[in-house]
Amino acid sequence: MKKLTKAALAAGILMIATPAFAQDIIVVAHGQANDPFWSVVKNGVEEAGRDTGVDVDYRSPETFDMVAMSQLIDAAVNQEPDGLIVSIPDADALGPSIERAVAAGIPVISINSGSDVSKGLGALLHVGQDEFDAGKAAGAKLAEMGGTNAVCVNQEVGNVSLDLRCEGFSEGFGGTVKVLPTSNDPTEIESKVAAALASDESVDTVMALGASTAGEPSVAAAKSSGRQINVASFDLSASFLQSIVDGDAAFAIDQQQFLQGYLSTNFLALHAKYGLMPGGNVPSGPNLITADKAAQVIELSAKGIR
């Protein structure tokens, strides 16, 4: 038998070694990848996959559906991935499925929502922002701007993270706050915000919980009212950022969701390869984007990064 050449031997070693380092990471989020916010998360996941050489798979229910999401997590666990990333908008509904993943020895990281329950369910860490504190900071800022009567537009009532945003906002604002429940339909949101403004002329502030879904239609409703109303929103969109630049909106709260997708994927890839993991939660926000900063991030928002 001929001796193997050094090149052939090296190639053989690589062929043998590659499967040991092959990884696959599954992301199960409550937000659909075609949602402007969650598409940025997905972009972060995919870029981290390319940078680390791991296979990543982003999954979500067709609507905000906790039963469907728990089933997606269970299906992911059955595939025995090298890592699982989950958002946790409802710990009661999703907890058993997440605990099943942990019990199966699958490393889990939570992102976006669930910072308060993540550790208790066995996740290694959480990448996101504290929603209550972010809401509180937004409320304090809008009160500082003269607000006394506000509407908090909640497009996913029952999503713990969004509920916490309104609760934190109410505490920080200190004035009158009414929660306005809506769907994710921007047309419905504009109509409901317009109706709320028309029914109470003392409303001077609108707090939206998502820039593209609720922030943009809230700006449109405020402009149609003909009154001076401060509109702020969680998260970013190119259009809402332009409204800040134009003076039609006060500010946006950036939780840097690209980092949520990118860092969680990167951490699990490093964990699978080398056993590395940060020692605690990683705050991706909040960052207040006012008029002096908005122009700088419009281009990146349009590219799906901010």
Among 152-156, 259-263, 299-303, the least confident range: 299-303
For the ranges 10-24, 49-63, 188-202, 281-295, the lowest mean pLDDT is seen at: 10-24
Q: What is the pLDDT of residue 32?
A: 85
Q: Give SS3 for 54.
A: coil
Pick 206 or 184 by higher pLDDT: 206
Mean pLDDT within 107-117: 95
Banded model confidence at residue 19, pLDDT cuts 50, 70, 90: very low
pLDDT for residue 134 is more than 70: yes
pLDDT at 135: 97
Judged against a pLDDT cut of 60, whether residue 156 lies above it is answered with yes
Query: What phi-psi label fits residue 120: left (phi over 0), alpha (psi between -120 and 50 degrees) or beta?
Result: alpha
Position 125 pLDDT exceeds 70? yes
Give 175's contacts (C-beta < 8 A, 6+ positions apart).
Answer: 143, 147, 148, 149, 150, 205
Q: What is the DSSP letter of 211?
A: I
Binning pLDDT at 50, 70 and 90, where does residue 13 land? very low
Report how far residue 142's alpha carbon sits from residue 234's, in angstroms, rounded to the nearest whole number. Answer: 13
Average pLDDT, the chain: 91
Predicted TM-score of the model (pTM): 0.79
pLDDT confidence tier of residue 82, bands split at 50, 70 and 90: very high
Q: Domains (ranges, CATH) in the chain?
A: 6-129+256-275 (3.40.50.2300), 131-254 (3.40.50.2300)
